[in-house]
Amino acid sequence: MEDSLSIRLEPSDAESLPLGRLLQLAERRLLEGKVLDRASRSKLYGGRWRRLDVRPERVRDLAQLQALPYTDANHWLAAQGSGSIARFVAERARLWVSSRSNARKWVPIGEADLRRMMGLALRLSAMIGLGPSERILAITEPAPRIGNCVPYFWVMADMVAGGLHLEMIPGSVTMLGRNNWPEFAAGRRPQVLWGHIDDVQALADTLCAAGKDPAALYPDLRVLLCFGAPLEPKRVDLHRLFGTNPISCYLSAELPYLQAECAPGAGIHLWLDVTIPEIIPTSELCKEREVPGYVPKALFITDAPDGVAGEYVVTTFGQSLPLIRYRSGDRIQLVSKGTCACGRTHPRVQVLGRITDGSSMQLMIRMDP
Ligand SMILES: [Zn+2]
C-alpha cells in the first residue's frame, strides 16, 4: 500500500527519453495498468462499448487503441446525467471539479490521480526553473473549477517531495477591489504569476485603472504562466504589461496535468509518459462536418507531420475516470516532434482555440496551412 503522503513522481529521466521508449512506456502503462478494464466500469464507456460490440480486452498494443470509439463532451454529459453517479466513476473519487464551459462536466479525481497531478506540478516547477524559496502569485478560479485547487496541490507537492520551499500567494478576481491581495503580493516580490489568461488580464486592467504599472509592481516576475485560452492575440500586450513574455499552460478539469511550454513560444510539451495524445487533422474534421455519419480518423501525435492542425484527442491512465480517446474540443497545432532546445523529447503543440460551431470551423479552414 502506498504511503498516504507519497506523490506519484514520474521517472526522472522520462522527460528526455527517446520517442520510441516513451511509446513503449505508454503502452505498458495502458496495458499493465488495466486502464481499459477500469474505464469499462464507468458508464461513460462500458455501456456504449458493449452496444458497439467493442472489446477493450482485445486491445493488445498501442495501435489497437484506435479501434476504440472516441468519447466526447456529449457522451460525458449523457452518462453523468443518467442514473447513479456512482456508476459514472471507475474508481472512488476524492475530489470533484467541474469544467469551465456552460454545460458542466463534473470530473472525479481519485487518490492516484491527485498524486499524479502533484508529481506533474513538481515537474512544472523544474521546467520553469523555480529556485529555492521562490514565490508564486496564483490567481485562483472560483470553485468548482480546477484552477481553484491546483495552486494548493502545487505547494503541498513541493512541501512533501519538491524541497524548494515555495511560497504561494493566492488571489482571485472575485476579491479584486475588495481585498488588497495584489498589493500584498507585490510586497512578497513573486517570481511567478499563474492564472487563467482572462484573470491575468483582469488583474492588469484593475491595476492600470488604478494608475499602477503591473511590471513595476512585480519587478522580479520572470514567469507569467497562463492557462485557459490561447495566448494569441494577447501575448504582446501581456508581455508589455508585466514585462515578461508569457508562457502557455494546458489545464482543464478533464486533463489537470499542468502541461506547459518550457519557454515562451516553444510550444506546450505533451507528456507522453502520462497521456497518449492524438490529433484529428482539420481535413478530417471538415469531412465529418460535410458527410453525415463519417467518423474522422485521428493520428497519434507521434505519427503526425509537424505543422498539422486539428482536434486534440487524449487518452490518460487515470484512476477515477480515465480519458479514453477523449475529444477535447480544443484545436491544436503540432509545433514539432523533434527534441526541444530544452532537451525534452515530448512533442510540442500550440493551442489554437476551441472547436465550437460552424463559424469556428470556417475560421479553421482559413487559418490552417
Ligand atoms: Zn522544451
In the predicted model, is pLDDT for residue 361 greater than 90? no
Separation between Cα atoms, residue 174 and residue 86, nearest integer Å: 33
Q: How crowded is the C-beta side of 232, counted as CA atoms within 13 Å?
A: 7
The confidence score (pLDDT) of residue 357 equals 47
Burial group, residue 1, by CB count within 10 angstroms (0-12, 13-18, 19+): exposed
Please give the distance, rounded to the nearest whole angstrom, from the Cα atom of residue 24 to the centre of ligand 1.
21
For 33-42, the pLDDT digits (tens) are 999 999 999 9
Beta bridge partners of 326: 71, 314
- Sorting pLDDT into bands at 50, 70 and 90, what band is 335? very high
Bridge-partner residues for 196, per DSSP? 227
Q: Ligand 1 centroid vs 128 CA: distance in angstroms?
A: 10
Length of the chain as a residue count: 369
Residue pair 260/335 in contact by the 8 Å Cβ criterion: no
Q: What is the DSSP letter of 212?
A: -
- Centroid of ligand 1 to alpha carbon of 262 (angstroms): 5
Distance from the CA of 275 to the center of ligand 1, in angstroms?
17
For 214-235, the pLDDT digits (tens) are 999 999 999 999 999 999 999 9
Residue in the block written with cell 460552424: 358
Residue 249 alpha carbon to ligand 1 centre in Å: 13
DSSP code of 340? P
Sign of CA dihedral 172, 256, 91, 313: positive
Q: What kind and span of H or E run contains 326?
A: strand 326-336
Give the confidence band of 4 by pLDDT, cuts at 50, 70, 90. low
pLDDT given for residue 362 in this prediction: 46
Q: Which of 38, 25, 1 is nearest to 320 (CA)?
A: 38
- Give exposure, 215-246, as e/b (b: 16+ Cβ within 10 Å): bebbeebbbbbbbbbbbeebbeebbebbbbbb
Q: How far is the CA of 184 from the centre of ligand 1 (A)?
A: 33
Share of residues in the chain with pLDDT > 90 (%): 90
Domain 113-260 CATH (choose: 3.40.50.12780, 1.10.10.60, 2.60.40.10, 3.30.420.40): 3.40.50.12780
Q: How far from chain centre, in Å, is Cα 313? A: 12
Q: pLDDT tens digit string along 105-132?
A: 999 999 999 999 999 999 999 999 999 9
Helix (H, G, I), strand (E, B) or coil at 263: coil
Per residue in 50-80, pLDDT (tens digit) is 999 999 999 999 999 999 999 999 999 999 9
Residue 123, SS3?
A: helix
The CA 246 to ligand 1 mean position distance, Å, reads: 15
Q: Are strands 309-316 and 326-336 parallel, antiparallel or unpaired?
A: antiparallel
Contacts of the segment 30-34: beta carbons below 8 A, 24+ positions apart = 30/59, 30/62, 30/65, 30/276, 30/315, 30/317, 31/59, 31/60, 31/61, 33/317
Tell me the pTM.
0.94
What is the CA(65)–ligand 1 centre distance, in A? 28
Which residue ranges make up each domain of the chain?
A: 32-109+266-367, 113-260
| Cα pseudo-dihedral 351, 356, 362, 365, rounded to 10 | 30
H-helix segments, 72-196: 73-81, 111-127, 150-157, 181-187
Q: Which three cell numbers stand for residue 314?
A: 487524449
Query: What is the Å distance from ligand 1's center to 83 Cα?
Result: 44
79 Cα–ligand 1 center, Å: 37
- The better pLDDT of the pair 369, 352 is held by 352
Q: What is the pLDDT of residues 150-197, one digit of tens each?
A: 999 999 999 999 999 999 999 999 999 999 999 999 999 999 999 999
Q: What pLDDT does residue 159 have?
A: 95
